[in-house]
Structure 1
Amino acid sequence: MKKILLFLLLTLQIASCQNHNSNNKKMNEPQYEWGIAVNTPIGYPIRFYAAMVGGTPIVGELYTEKEEPDWGNAFGYESTSMDKLPKSVDMVWLSYKEDCFYRLKTAIDYEKIAKLFREGFNQRVPNGEVRHKTYDTIVVGIAPGGVVVFWAGNGYKKITEIGRYQAEKIDLKEPPGLDSHERLIFSKEDREEVLNSDLTIPKAVREANKNKPIPFGLWDSYRDHQYQWFPVYEIPNGKIGDVNYRYWNGEAGATLYTDFASYMGKVDFFYLEEPIQKRPLFKELVIWYKAENGEKYLAEVSFDWEAVVAAYQKVFRKEADKVMAHLDIRVNRNNTYLTFQLIGDNGKQTFLEPKTLEISKFTEEDVIPPTPFE
């Protein structure tokens, strides 16, 4: 009964926040088919006591991730419905690893959300065609320390950050009248079971984190390490295909091969011609390309966080706002390896070693349709 009353209270609070505009303006607000997904870093499960995103409750309770991507993933969303986009949130949850409760009650960036949903994006669909789509998920990311990040998402190939928010630690006591299931969130036995179960935290992760402090601030650092840089793809006597990318801050997207331009007039150097801007650091890359030998290849790359940060700091040093750099990504002529060289306009440069790299040849019969480039 207590949880039901809290849900009603949250609904009334959020409805009150959303009623500050005139009725006429509200009537003009568009509706979209959208749902909610919840992300937690691997090894840091949480349980909601109650949560509302706009006027939509988060129905699930226990949330945990056991594999990548665990930060910026719009899969696994709860049921979608046609509704207005959220303007505020009110959420209370237990952080199992920290053994404490948090609450986030705040307005969120409705204007940015509305702009993202309204403008949408172009995406290649499985049959190879490019179609205009829009977002269908509000992704809620909850990290240790009460860090909350919201993204607009569609699957895990298109994720755009909405904003970062800070929850407050609260002292939540068990109210009387709860049934056995509702009492789980206050149970010490349940906490021990969750923290030591392979169903919630993989054994390898538990062992790796054993006796280590919680890395507070890590998820903020994923957002904070942004520099003025851009990638350049070098395919000797070849052609670039689509490129899927994922940043460490959880954002993800794709660059279609038709959007690439020649870099510095070189026909086998490709980049996205756009204004220079700060961007996060690569976590993963998937590159389709056609090599000099006429064959088509797929390169899948991942990067280690500490290694990529060290490389960028070596080039940018303490002049992040003054330096501009490009990451030269070069395919060797045997199509067995990629090199990654970060080159700054300050004369500094360094090579970045990938964590994993796999290059494979593909054909028209592959399960994943190849990029339809000549």
Structure 2
Amino acid sequence: MNKSIQYLLSLLFFIQISCQEKKEHQKTKAMTKYEWTEGTSASSGYPMEVYKGGMECEGGEWVGLGFGIIPGGNSWGAINHGMGNGFRSLPTRLEFIWMSYMENQFYLIDTPIDTAKLKAYFSKGYEVKVTNGSGETEHLNYDKIGVGMAPGGVVVVWVAGVGVQKEVGRYKGKKVTIPESEIAKLDSHENRFWRKDYLDEVFNNGKVIPEKIREENKGKPIPFGIWDTYRIQYSWKPVFQLPEKAALNPLTDVGIDMINGEKEQLDAAKISVAQNAERAMPTRIVFDFIGSDHKEYGANGDLNEKSSFEAFKTVFGENPNSTKADIVIKVNEANSHFTIQLRGENGKVAFIKADKVEVF
């Protein structure tokens, strides 16, 4: 081989290695790792359990979701923590099979998820007031990725941090049947999905489905589609009406939970000038105020789901974009109770009942 050919081959080899190293560097650079833990969620009365699978992450990392039954006693979006924690790349794909117990049905989800949206949340983080009463704000990072499963094969992914939770996307699984040949190979723990003793425990254990919820749902059909109805957004903002000379505590945040599993923290010092935003219906409101007696009070209320649906239908009709509205939280003169009213710019008004109201 003459020197010219030898030199050319050496140059090509060097270029190939350099390009490969550059690609590997770019891949590593793009694969930023964040500190987070995985979790799962189910809706009240509808326990779920992952049979096998989980989430594929950037760079081929894998995060399993099969860490036990997901109780049906929690609100939709309440995240049960998984086993993992630490710096990891972000999920790119959902790929798992799960059991919807009240349907006696397995579902399969195999779909890419919005990794770019996840990155945007994890990279930006959010600001909240510190809890020591100083009024200072602190920057926090999202540290959980939750996967919710609902009847009908509905899957929702959220990103969450302390007091804040945002929806990343909604996906749909398909019904599957596990082959008898596969079931026959499972050990006594793995085959629990088909064992009568285990199923009886799921349906009758008050920790999985509280007796109150079980009785409320008894004889009723599964409300397929309701979990997509939860995702409908309306243009509204919170407005507070307090007794004369009382005011929201400006050193705190106002916490709002939504029916679609999202949560917000709003600066109480700026809430009077807050603009309308597209949000799902609220389910819980938490706030602090200073009464005319100069005492500090804390307050919270859980909104009744049926009453909320009725109120929003009264004000917005069949079109969630038909108007804008205020949710008015009015505290009584004795600082012992508050009411909740939905007021539309179209002049329509409706009260929302609360399942629980506390002022302390």
Quote the offset at 1:271 in angstroms: 4.3
| Contact 2:142/2:160 (8 A) holds in 1 | yes
Larger radius of gyration: 2
- What residue in structure 2 maps to residue 146 of structure 1? 153
- What residue in structure 2 maps to residue 233 of structure 1? 240
- 1:271-286 to 2 correspondences below 5 Å: 271-272=273-274, 274=275, 276-286=276-286
- In structure 1, C-alpha distance between the alignment counterparts of 2:320 and 2:100, rounded to whole Å: 35
- What residue in structure 2 maps to residue 19 of structure 1? none
- What residue in structure 1 maps to residue 127 of structure 2? 122
- In structure 2, C-alpha distance between the alignment counterparts of 1:106 and 1:127, rounded to whole Å: 43
SS at match of 1:28: helix
The verdict on how the C-alpha distance between 1:304 and 1:190 changes in structure 2, with shifts beyond 3 A counting, is: same
Q: Residue type matched to 1:90 in 2?
A: E
- What residue in structure 2 maps to residue 208 of structure 1? 216
| Contact 1:231/1:271 (8 A) holds in 2 | no
- What residue in structure 1 maps to residue 77 of structure 2? 72
Quote the offset at 1:294 in angstroms: 1.0
CA RMSD after TM alignment: 2.0
- What residue in structure 2 maps to residue 328 of structure 1? 328
Quote the offset at 1:93 in angstroms: 1.0
- 1:228-267 to 2 correspondences below 5 Å: 228-235=235-242, 236-241=244-249, 242-260=253-271
- In structure 1, C-alpha distance between the alignment counterparts of 2:222 and 2:329, rounded to whole Å: 34
Quote the offset at 1:207 in angstroms: 2.3
Quote the offset at 1:76 in angstroms: 2.7
- In structure 1, C-alpha distance between the alignment counterparts of 2:273 and 2:302, rounded to whole Å: 20
Deviates more, 1:128-137 or 1:102-111: 128-137
- What residue in structure 2 maps to residue 289 of structure 1? 289
- What residue in structure 2 maps to residue 45 of structure 1? 47
What whole-Å deviation, never above 9, does each CA across 1:293-330 have from its counterpart, x for those lacking one?
A: 21111111111111011111111113432311112222
| Contact 2:40/2:148 (8 A) holds in 1 | yes
- In structure 2, C-alpha distance between the alignment counterparts of 1:75 and 1:93, rounded to whole Å: 16
1:90 and 2:57 correspond: no
User: Mind listing any 5+ residue stretches in structure 2 that lack a counterpart?
Assistant: 1-22
Q: Which has the higher helix share?
A: 2
- In structure 2, C-alpha distance between the alignment counterparts of 1:206 and 1:341, rounded to whole Å: 30
- In structure 2, C-alpha distance between the alignment counterparts of 1:308 and 1:223, rounded to whole Å: 14
Quote the offset at 1:187 in angstroms: 2.7
- What residue in structure 2 maps to residue 367 of structure 1? none
- In structure 2, C-alpha distance between the alignment counterparts of 1:320 and 1:202, rounded to whole Å: 33
Q: Residue type matched to 2:300 in 1?
A: E
- What residue in structure 1 maps to residue 16 of structure 2? none
Quote the offset at 1:43 in angstroms: 2.2
| Contact 2:140/2:161 (8 A) holds in 1 | no
SS at match of 2:191: helix
Q: Which residue, 160, 178, 198 being the options, matches 1:172?
A: 178
- In structure 2, C-alpha distance between the alignment counterparts of 1:195 and 1:46, rounded to whole Å: 12
1:310 and 2:315 correspond: no
User: Mind listing any 5+ residue stretches in structure 1 that lack a counterpart?
Assistant: 1-21, 261-269, 361-374
| Contact 1:40/1:63 (8 A) holds in 2 | no
Q: Residue type matched to 1:203 in 2?
A: E
SS at match of 1:179: coil
- In structure 2, C-alpha distance between the alignment counterparts of 1:300 and 1:109, rounded to whole Å: 34
Quote the offset at 1:66 in angstroms: 5.5
Deviates more, 1:312-321 or 1:97-106: 312-321
- In structure 1, C-alpha distance between the alignment counterparts of 2:221 and 2:257, rounded to whole Å: 27
Deviates more, 1:210-219 or 1:132-141: 210-219
Quote the offset at 1:23 in angstroms: 4.4
Q: Which residue, 138, 141, 146 being the options, matches 1:134?
A: 141
| Contact 2:71/2:207 (8 A) holds in 1 | no
- In structure 1, C-alpha distance between the alignment counterparts of 2:80 and 2:188, rounded to whole Å: 30
- In structure 2, C-alpha distance between the alignment counterparts of 1:306 and 1:25, rounded to whole Å: 52
Q: Residue type matched to 2:119 in 1?
A: A
The verdict on how the C-alpha distance between 1:238 and 1:26 changes in structure 2, with shifts beyond 3 A counting, is: farther
Quote the offset at 1:208 in angstroms: 2.3
The verdict on how the C-alpha distance between 1:339 and 1:71 changes in structure 2, with shifts beyond 3 A counting, is: same
User: Normalized against structure 1, the TM-score is what?
Assistant: 0.81
